[in-house]
Amino acid sequence: MNEGRFSPRFSFLVFLSLVSMTLLAACGDNTATTAITAAGSAATAGSAATTAAGSAATTAAAGSATTAAAAGNLSGEIKVGALVTLTGNNSPFGIAIKNGYDLAVSEINESKFLGGATIKLVALDDKGDKQEGISVMSKLLDQEKVVSVLGPTLSSTALAADPLAQKAGVPVLATSNTANGITQMGDFIFRNSLPEAGVIPGTIAAVKAKLNPKKAAIMFESTNEFTKSAADVFKAELEKNSIQITGTEAYSKGDADFRTQLNKLKAASPDILIVSGLIGEAVPIVQQAREVGFTQPIIGGNGFNTPTIYKDGKEAAEGIIVGSAWFLGSTNPKSQAFVAAFKKKFNTDPDQFAAQAYDGAYLMATAIKNAGAANSKAIRDALAQIKNYEGVLGTFSFDANRDPVHQPVTVIVKGGKFELFQ
């Protein structure tokens, strides 16, 4: 009865069915967890609302550079959607971003920034997943009927989900997307996060000026649009500065053992190591780089712009250099007021993503105010007009392509915090 159960064909069949079952199981994970995490985020949103009361402090920081228009016409509750990554490896970004939105929205409502109207932020978890992003975006557009959307957290999600909003004529303001091709999706897509091409040239120039490296190695995640496009910008900038690239190695989302790639890169003895990755993998990469004996300076992409890098990376993170849109020690008074309010409300330091999110929510509120109506098209037009807005990021404008214009900085991890690299 047992004879022949393991014929060649059977082995193949089992193998094929197992592979498909595993894929099926992987997809299933996402859907099955929706209920739990949705409930979870609703709970945190609730508690955020209750803690909001005490922090009406820095409302004066609001946008003043724009012509205060017919805000008096606004009334009731205006629904603004937000797509944030609250679960998964990249949740440190999404949590910081949601905190930034929450702080700004509570200030906006407390200070009657919109006159008689208030903003209701409908923040949903996209799990850092393209499919999930699409379904959550549809929910915001079709069920919640939001007038505009903030987010999503990751560029890859934005590239999948934003076309829905473009089609529906609902403006999207990305506060953390830095990949190429975001605003090219259409005239309703804006971002206040500097694209890689706006930050990396300054970073490489600063590194070249101070460290004068001759050879560089690059490690990047090949399964994400942002990390790929950042790696390309790094390559182009290295060539421009005549720094030789001795090796380029890729890894995939969720990988955990990077020793082999690092070992290979190390063999060519580069002067610097460039890592274009997201935070989930960035910490183990940095730690394993130190373990395999990489003592050279590490230059991180935008994914390194969070305190998680030095909180989790500890000694291994010391000396990491990152190009940033903003940094904690900024002397801009708006920024200092924001840092104080953020610390008071969330008991932790804000990072670049929280700062961009906070400014983004204010930009959106300013556009709603200037539009004078809870109308998506009018809000889009008002957003496009914003020039010289004084915010946490400094003096901010949108260019003709709805991309941000403001001055980036280069920071270095020293003694467990970001300092200006100078």
Partner 1 sequence: MVDASLLTNPVYFLQNLVDGLARGAVYAVFALGFTLIFGVLDIVNLAHAATYMWCAFAGWVVMAVLNMPLVVGLLAAMLFGGLIAVILEFIAFRPLRQEGAERLAPMISSIGVSIIMVSLAEAQFSSQTKKFPSEVLDPKPLYLGGTDGVRVSWAQLLIVVVSIVLMVALGYLIRRTRTGKAIRAVAYSQRAARLLGINVNRVVVVTFFIGGVLAGAAGILVGLLTNNINPNIGADIELRGLAVVILGGLGNIEGAVVGGLCLGLVETFSIAYFDRGSDYKDAIAFLILFLILLIRPNGLFGRQEANRA
Q: What is the rounded (10 degree) CA torsion for 181, 183, 188, 193?
A: 130
Please give the C-alpha separations between residue 385 and each of 26, 105, 165, 355, in angstroms, as whole numbers. 44, 21, 20, 21
Residue 283 CB, nearest approach to partner 1 (Å): 7
Cα separation, 138 vs 161, in Å, equals 8
Structure tokens at 262: 């690092």
H/E stretch holding 245: strand 244-251
Q: How far apart are CA 336 and CA 347, in angstroms?
A: 15
DSSP 8-state class, residue 128: T
Residue 318 Cβ vs partner 1, minimum distance, rounded to whole Å: 14
Q: Are 320 and 387 in contact (CB under 8 A)?
A: no
From 316, 315, 266, select the one nearest 288 (Cα to Cα): 316
CA atoms within 13 A of residue 271's CA, in its CB half-sphere: 12
Query: Which stretch, 8-16, 45-53, 148-156, 182-190, contacts partner 1 (CB under 8 A)?
Result: 8-16
Kindly tell me which of 151 and 284 has the beta carbon lying closer to partner 1.
284
Check residue 19 for interaction with partner 1 (CB under 8 A).
Answer: yes
User: Residue 213 corresponds to which tokens in the numbers above?
Assistant: 């490296």
H or E element at residue 84: strand 75-84
Q: Which stretch binds partner 1 (CB under 8 A): 76-84, 108-116, 191-199, 242-250?
A: 242-250
**Does residue 12 belong to the site contacting partner 1 (CB under 8 A)?**
yes
Q: Which of these segments, 36-44, 115-123, 139-147, 403-411, binds partner 1 (CB under 8 A)?
A: 36-44
CB of 66 to partner 1, least distance (A): 38
Select from 137-145, 281-289, 349-357, 368-376 the region that touches partner 1 (CB under 8 A). Answer: 281-289
6 in contact with partner 1 (CB under 8 A) = yes
Determine the 3-state secondary structure of 360 from DSSP: helix
**Residue of 138, 263, 332, 375 interacting with partner 1 (CB under 8 A):** 263
Cβ of residue 261: shortest distance to partner 1, in angstroms?
5
45/170 Cα distance (integer angstroms) = 23
Stretch that binds partner 1, among 236-244, 262-270, 391-399, 413-421 (CB under 8 A): 262-270
The neighbour count for residue 342, using CB atoms within 10 Å, is 25
DSSP 8-state secondary structure symbol assigned to residue 325: S
For residues 223 and 155, give the distance between their C-alpha atoms in angstroms, rounded to a whole number: 12
Instruction: Confirm or reject binding of residue 43 to partner 1 (CB under 8 A).
Output: no
Instruction: Compare residues 240 and 314 and give the one whose CB is closer to partner 1.
Output: 314
Rounded CA-CA distance 422/411 in Å is 8
- For residue 118, which amino acid is it? T
Site string for partner 1, 75-114 (x = CB under 8 A): ------------xxx-xx----------------------
Q: How far is the CB of 9 from partner 1 (least distance, A)?
A: 8
Residue from 185, 292, 373, 405 binding partner 1 (CB under 8 A) = 292
In terms of CB distance, is 29 or 142 closer to partner 1?
Answer: 29
Nearer to partner 1, 44 or 375 (CB): 44
Binding site residues, partner 1, CB under 8 A: 1-9, 11-12, 14-15, 18-19, 21-22, 24-26, 28-29, 32-33, 36-37, 40, 87-89, 91-92, 222, 248-252, 254-257, 259-261, 263-264, 267-268, 280, 283-284, 287, 291-293, 312, 314
